[in-house]
Amino acid sequence: MSSIAADTYITPEAYLASERRGKYKSEYIHGEVLAMSGASRAHNIITVDITTELNIQLRPRGCEIYSGDMRVQTSRTGSYFYPDVVVVCDEPRFEDNVFDTLLNPIVIVEVLSPSTEVYDKGEKFAHYQELTSLREYVLVSQDRIRVEHYHLMGTQWVGKEFHRSEDVLLLDSIECKLPLRDIYTRITFSD
């Protein structure tokens, strides 16, 4: 995903109205609309495989997993994002009765691309930290085996990296395991 910022301030209400009518997705940060571009083949495969693995493990417990099209609002002042994978295990709370803007995710996963990596690790993560429900944030590289896992311990976000296909990511907040070999099983890396 790459983004292009608008030059004028847009209200959150105007953004949502436009987004709900539009053909293309865009994110919104404090008055600026950021157009999103399409994702690569590897990005899509990784996203689907993570979603599938989590869905298999969580379906019996009633959790919901959304992939790519569930908008998340991160603050009352109005920032909206489309995470690659979102998990909610409590009763889902939505911004309104359209049910397309989630307020209480517990886990968010972003698949990194060269154009978004710095943003996803920095500014976007800072926005996600505004979510009082969020317990884990996962960043997955698509061009090499690398998964960064951040989990909330008290008031601090603690991170750990995984680099081997035999590593297993434990998502304690939802009691799930994600073997890296399953995340990357269909991805071929260039040397």
What are 82-95's pLDDT values in tens digits?
Answer: 999 999 999 999 99
Closest CA to 133 of 72, 61, 85: 72
What pTM was estimated for this model as a whole?
Answer: 0.92
Token representation of residue 74: 């991160």
Residues 6+ apart with CB under 8 A from 46: 111, 140, 142, 183, 184, 187
Q: Is 20 helix (H, G, I), strand (E, B) or coil?
A: helix
**What pLDDT was estimated at residue 191?**
66
What are 39-77's pLDDT values in tens digits?
Answer: 899 999 999 999 999 999 999 998 999 998 999 999 766
Contact by Cβ (8 Å): 150, 157? yes
**What pLDDT was estimated at residue 4?**
46
Residue 3 pLDDT greater than 50, yes or no: no
Average pLDDT over every residue of 152-179: 97
State the chain's mean pLDDT as an integer: 92
Domain boundaries, the chain: 40-183
* CATH architecture assigned to 40-183: Alpha-Beta Complex (3.90)
